Chains A and B, each alone.
Chain A
């Protein structure tokens, strides 16, 4: 057996008296048999449900043997926890060492030996090598990328290798964003690799959102039905909403998307072009790339005078500095202005007055032939509707508060839907394949809340359970004398199940709503002091 490929978890919960002493005795026995190298020993408490995950998480990739105290083992309580926290393909066994007919501690002093031999026997049955292949489970490996914008295409391009069955849901506004349009310019004006990724993404199968009749959750994912009656099941949805730029309210000015559309129409252009960025809305680094592309193109291909007014030059994205340098060398004029800018819009003809912050000189551009004011970005209305229907975070581009940053894409709010933020942060997109695979490997195991439930018809009013409960969670019901479980104290340890002579107590799933109902019930009776 490989060195410590097996970990033993001793339960030390409250329903197991002298647990510390006993686990020490077992450890000593291992030591005596010179097996402490081959098997790793850990202790945990089965009642601290939330902590178990952490305890097991450190044993990733190991085979695990649980030695449990009571009837938890019977109900398969650990299965979901182990699958979710340890490596999904870890094998595990459970050994019941106390409770019912398996009381190892009864009788003579040789119990540590008995337990150790039981553990070693179990360890021998566990497979020696863990063969862990990162294979995508076939059942629900289809992924739907919602949104055919730049973000969606990039996500699809990154995912394509690991998830060959991939579809992109094309929405109406998909192809019309400034980013997509800028990829149609010549290569030397383009943001690095933008066009390659867009072209790669376009090779993937598209579904038009008009054909979709409904998307509904099913047990292992999502079911998409189109108007022709075809049904496709998907394991996950990558929500990459398109962004739509707000219309420009100033007369005679373009927003960036509108300007790109005009530019690509190929009409002759000459004179002065002026980009007024950071005006009413902050210039985002990703939008700055599109501004640079357009400005550079106008300067080099149309020989126009190009001015870019802005507050902050956003070069924090990789490769943007080079693009900025190229545009500046080509002769695009950048004017950084202070907080005040005067934009005079009398008679439909614009005049911009600003103070260049570096030189301190006032700059005036009068009546530019083309004025472009990049506007705020919004999630497209269609995507917004989807987000609302699925209760995704409605705030545009904000992280959800308790998101696990390890996971990558921000705001994985609903199981199986991964939202990709609006920013051009490639790390989000590149790590998507990893996140999805982790998600699949978890096999959709959800934690279930177990709780003791007393069957009032079987209850013999003996109150044994009230006496044995380590948490004081069971009380006598004053009205009908049946034992009553206080759900917020019960930790489903199983002691009462074992002890009840009438077998009236069972552990069951407890849906959250009924938990609150029973709390309300108890409170209304005034029984909790």
Chain B
């Protein structure tokens, strides 16, 4: 039997899980990612555990990354994009992949850590367990090249093109968080006291949450989801759970913080979250109203104006920090990807799996999904792919 080959696009949590499952079943896997590191978005999320685990799922990704390595049957192409895509006569696909050069040679680098402190732009970053990579803020100054003891860094930039044949294609391109900067009413962009959920995750990831300056926080839910005016009508599903888990951790670390939630509905998306919500709901102040606008006051602190649901009057409240729980949207190049591969999209722009064609979708590119759900979905899709490959 000749070996089957599958191309997985996107090395986030879904892509890695799917690739590992396929590889363990004897399929050759090619894993593409446009970033120079694995893990995708969730790689920079932070754990939200308090005294006990609250099942945010971030550690699942970390565990997955620890097990993940390049192998004979799993080729990882970082900094690569899918360029051309064509169905060939035997039902397989011809791919052409544009591959940016690996600027730090992983075979030579041994993680000595000398390069990252000398970089003036902080462009050299590491993901736990992996060799460092150079991100887009690099200015080609050459400082790192001079300190590298094994000459692993080269600054050449010519991309290479590679052609290959595969039997199936799996899209794990993930999602894009809604960008609140496009609407001025959220006050995001100018004011440093208005941050998004992703920024907050970054705080937790770096353990750099500035607890001592913050006494009063507002969480604004449904930013860029269930909103007809923004054109995002779908429920983003995961924001309620991540925002409440974050708020829970903040309250645990700095007791006495006042936390207000501006919300429409709390989505009880998982069994665990139902119980969790029941336990913590009395710790926070829930206001069922969406803010009309978020502005700066004269001290630069954010001022949230909303219609009070009880008195029906317009109220302005001053906060130390406003966290916008941004919704999950389809990837910005999802339409181009759909045009390229012919995968179908639903009314919100998420992919639908079309198993008959040999093109599959898995993970958050199919709709908002938590990390745990992505892993389960990868299991399910790997079964689908295997039965498709077996049937051909």
Interface, chain A (partner B; CB < 8 A): 2-5, 57-58, 60-61, 87, 130-134, 158, 161-162, 282, 284-285, 311-318, 320-322, 325, 336, 338, 357-358, 360, 397-399, 405-406, 408, 410, 421-423, 425, 427-428, 430-431, 433-435, 437
Contact = CB atoms under 8 A, between A and B. Distances in A.
Nearest to B73: A61
B26 A130 contact: yes
Contacts, number: 132
A338 B309 contact: yes
A134 B67 CA distance: 22
Interface stretch (B37-45, B253-261, B370-378): B370-378
Contacts of A284: 268, 274
Contacts of B312: 360
Contact of A430 (B21, B55, B267, B380): B380
Interface stretch (B81-89, B133-141, B171-179, B381-389): B381-389
8 A-B pairs closest in CB distance: A132-B26, A430-B380, A316-B267, A431-B379, A434-B379, A427-B376, A312-B265, A316-B237
Contacts of A430: 376-377, 379-380, 383
B271 A312 contact: no
Given A316-B268, A321-B233, A338-B310, 11 more contacts: A4-B72, A134-B26, A282-B278, A284-B268, A312-B268, A314-B265, A317-B269, A318-B367, A357-B309, A405-B375, A428-B376
Among B372, B380, B387, which residue has the most Cβ atoms of chain A within 10 A?
B380
B269 A410 contact: no
Contact of B25 (A3, A132, A316, A336): A132
Contacts of B386: 134
A321 B312 CA distance: 28
Contacts of A422: 271
10 contacts: A61-B72, A131-B1, A284-B268, A284-B274, A311-B265, A312-B268, A357-B288, A360-B310, A397-B274, A398-B275
Given A285-B268, A357-B309, A3 B72 contact: yes
Interface in B284-319: 288, 309-310, 312
B268 A399 contact: no
B271 A421 contact: yes
Contacts of B60: 405-406
A61 B71 contact: yes
Contacts of B347: 322
A400 to B, nearest CB: 11
B383 A162 contact: yes
Interface residues of B, number: 51
A133 B24 CA distance: 10
A433 B383 contact: yes
Contact of B267 (A3, A285, A325): A285
Among A338, A434, A437, which residue has the most Cβ atoms of chain B within 10 A?
A434
B23 A61 contact: yes
B266 to A, nearest CB: 5
B21 A434 contact: yes
Contact of B235 (A321, A431, A437): A321
Contact of A427 (B26, B278, B380): B380
Interface string B123-139: 00000000000000000
B380 A58 contact: no
A26 B390 CA distance: 42
B106 to A, nearest CB: 16
Contacts of A315: 226, 235, 265, 267
Nearest to B387: A161
Contacts of B57: 405
Among B270, B367, B386, which residue has the most Cβ atoms of chain A within 10 A?
B270
Contacts of A423: 270-271
Contacts of A60: 23-24
B249 interface: no
B234 interface: yes
A397 B375 contact: no
A282 B72 contact: no
Contacts of B226: 315, 321
A321 B347 CA distance: 11
A399 B288 contact: no
Contact of A431 (B264, B270, B380): B380
A131 B2 CA distance: 10
B69 interface: yes
A285 B269 contact: yes
Nearest to B350: A318
Given A282-B268, A312-B265, A434-B382, A162 B377 contact: no
A399 B26 contact: no
Nearest to B378: A431
A425 B367 CA distance: 13
A142 B223 CA distance: 48
Contacts of A2: 72
A42 to B, nearest CB: 12
Nearest to B64: A406
A133 B26 contact: yes
A410 B271 contact: yes
Contact of A360 (B309, B375, B379): B309
A349 B11 CA distance: 60
A5 B72 contact: yes
Interface in B64-116: 67, 69, 71-73
B266 A312 contact: yes
Contacts of A431: 376-377, 379-380, 383
A316 B235 contact: yes
A434 B17 CA distance: 12
A283 to B, nearest CB: 8
A423 B370 CA distance: 15
B167 to A, nearest CB: 15
Given A312-B266, A357-B309, A321 B1 contact: no
A314 B26 contact: no
Interface in B226-241: 226, 233-235, 237, 240
A312 B73 contact: no
Given A87-B24, A132-B26, A312-B265, A425 B270 contact: yes
Among B55, B309, B379, which residue has the most Cβ atoms of chain A within 10 A?
B379
Nearest to B236: A316
A37 to B, nearest CB: 12
Given A318-B367, A321-B233, A433 B25 contact: no
A434 B265 contact: no
A336 B265 CA distance: 9
Nearest to A320: B235
Interface in B195-242: 226, 233-235, 237, 240
Nearest to A361: B312
Nearest to B71: A61
Contacts of A435: 379
Contacts of A405: 55, 57, 60, 372, 375
Interface in B331-382: 347, 367, 369, 372-373, 375-377, 379-380, 382
